[in-house]
Amino acid sequence: MKEIDKNDYDYDLPADRIAQYPVNDRDRSQLLIYKDNKIIKDIFRNLHDYLPRDSLLVFNNTRVIRARILFQKETGANVEILCLEPLSPFDYSLSFSSKESVEWKCIIGNLKKWKGGILTTPFKYNANTYKLCAERLQSLGEAWCIRFSWDCSEISFGEVLEITGHIPLPPYINREDQVQDIERYQTVYSRIKGSVAAPTAGLHFTDHVFEKIKSGGIKTVELTLHVGAGTFQPVKARNIYEHEMHCEHFLTDARTIEMVIENQGKVIPVGTTSVRTLESLYWLGVKLIQNPSDSFLNLSLGQWEAYEMATNISVKESLGALLNYINERNLTCLQAATSIMIVPGYEFRITNGMITNFHQPRSTLLFLISAWTGIKWKDIYNFALENSFRFLSYGDSSLLLK
């Protein structure tokens, strides 16, 4: 890892190849298929023709929240607050349902204009006008702890965000969010609120696609990883070992883990977030087995832990340890956090293929793709560029099989 240079994972991405809007029909986006060292193209609507029989698709059902809140000071200066994750209450559902003040970890845009005091922005509810207040409490590195309060006890913080917030489009989409983004920057199966970025590999799925894969004997399960803004964080250090990976929270239930165990060798995650979650599950199980005396009240996986644990523990044993953990504590789901950074040289434990969009040059997501395809990522991306594929969040898709 210490010898991996980010510049080896660079390519020329013209600005006009970065999709600024989604295609009219989700499943009419282009699909690149990489299989048996061959590359072909089709449309996503025909995905079922290329999936191995009896595959298990794993979806991230997180839902994007309207995390961008715009405030205007009396001086006229604009300040933007991007909500990243809840701090108090710490639980997402409790924070969204709270009708009292909440505290969130946030990134502040135009911070220099906010020297102190409380920011306010008006909003309407049931024909009445109220105000949302933001108070800066303390620095959290590049982020801040912000306390939000509002003068309407009838509605929750989640409802306040729905009224006042904006869809947090990625920085490379050079426009303001529009009405269509409310629907199109969500997957059709999104359910659990918490992401500030969409798991974009799933944006192409439609009811038609689900019907086709189901009729073809393809099984599906869901898990939840809340995508953070760190997914867009550029790798600034030349050596990627010096890059600090963002931490993301996820949860899954016993049924999903059991399905993964039963379908070893056939597991295809939809999106890099699902890949990172599944691979993290394996290593968390290894940690439980190797450290049975630890309570692990807060299950988490560090950025490089997976590379430091020498093990011959099978997937069945590892995930079995997680099932025992759930059952012994009578948990409805397993909650954990991961900072895993998957780079070339990583040995995939659960992933047997992946569905994913096309990612930015020199990004952690491109490192993950290279870890899966090896040097072939260059051929794949050159093919996409030469065949008019659209790139990044609202762009086209790929199915990458060994």
According to CATH, the topology of domain 6-64+185-401 is QueA-like (3.40.1780)
Give the pLDDT mean for 189-206.
Answer: 97
pLDDT confidence band for 97 (50 / 70 / 90): very high
The helix (H) or strand (E) run that includes residue 384 is: helix 377-386
d(CA 268, CA 37) in angstroms, rounded, equals: 18
Contacts of 106 (CB under 8 A, 6+ apart): 81, 82, 83, 84, 143, 144, 145, 146
pLDDT of residue 298: 72
Residues 6+ apart with CB under 8 A from 158: 65, 95, 96, 97, 193
| pLDDT of the residue at 13 | 98
27-31 contact pairs (CB < 8 A, 24+): 27/204, 27/205, 27/206, 27/208, 27/209, 29/204, 29/390, 29/395, 29/396, 29/397, 30/387, 30/388, 30/389, 30/390, 30/396, 30/397, 31/204, 31/396, 31/397, 31/398, 31/399
Q: What is the pLDDT of residue 351?
A: 98
Confidence of residue 242 (pLDDT cuts 50, 70, 90): confident
Sorted by where each begins, the domain ranges of the chain are 6-64+185-401, 68-166
Note the pLDDT of residue 322: 96
> What pLDDT is attached to residue 246?
83
Q: Is the pLDDT of residue 74 over 90?
A: no
Give pTM, 2 decimals: 0.94
> What does the pLDDT read at residue 46?
98
Query: Edge to edge, what strands does the sheet with 299-301 contain?
Result: 267-269, 56-60, 219-225, 248-252, 334-338, 299-301
Query: CA torsion 44→48→49→52, rounded to 10°?
Result: 130
The mean pLDDT of the chain is 94
Q: What is the pLDDT of residues 322-340, one digit of tens each?
A: 999 999 999 999 999 999 9
119-163 per-position pLDDT tens digit: 999 999 999 999 999 999 999 998 999 999 999 999 999 999 999
Phi-psi region of 332 (alpha: psi -120 to 50; beta: other; left: phi over 0): alpha
pLDDT tier, 294 (very low <50, low <70, confident <90, very high otherwise): low
Percentage of the residues of the chain whose pLDDT score is greater than 70: 98
d(CA 238, CA 227): 25
Q: Buried b / exposed e across 10-30, counting CB within 10 Å, b at 16+?
A: eeebeeebbbbebbeebbebb
- Is residue 379 within 8 A of residue 37, CB to CB? The reply is no
